Amino acid sequence: MKETIVNLLRQRPFQPFVIQMSNGETFRVNHPEMAVLLKSNVIIAQPDSDAFDICSLLHVANVAANGSAVTGS
């Protein structure tokens, strides 16, 4: 799944996407600068605030762009 997220963050023009976690929680990435991909986590900033979420890549269940699921490793 990490490679899929990398590809989506590098895509030009950028297309917003959603990360769905194994517990059903979802996080929308509206801009490539809103997400920082680390070795085993992705940090997603919340727009218009100083808040952020740290998501373990082990718990990413799905990544969806433009309303459809994106498959990857």
According to DSSP, the residues that pair with 25 across neighbouring strands are none
pLDDT at 16 over 70: yes
pLDDT digits (tens, 9 = 90+) for 17-52: 999 999 999 999 999 999 999 999 999 999 889 999
Q: Which range of residues forms the domain containing residue 26?
A: 2-67
Residue 27 lies in a domain: yes
Indicate the pTM of the whole model: 0.85
29: domain CATH number is 2.30.30.100
Average pLDDT of the residues of the chain: 91
pLDDT at 69 over 90: no
Residue 73 lies in a domain: no
Q: How far apart are CA 6 and CA 25, in angstroms?
A: 20
Number of domains present in the structure of the chain: 1
Q: How far apart are CA 33 and CA 28, in angstroms?
A: 12
Residue 72 lies in a domain: no
For residues 66 and 11, the answer to whether their CB atoms sit within 8 Å is no
For 57-67, give one letter per residue: b (16+ CB within 10 A) or e.
eeebeebbbee
Predicted confidence band at 66 (pLDDT cuts at 50, 70, 90)? Answer: confident
Residue 60 lies in a domain: yes
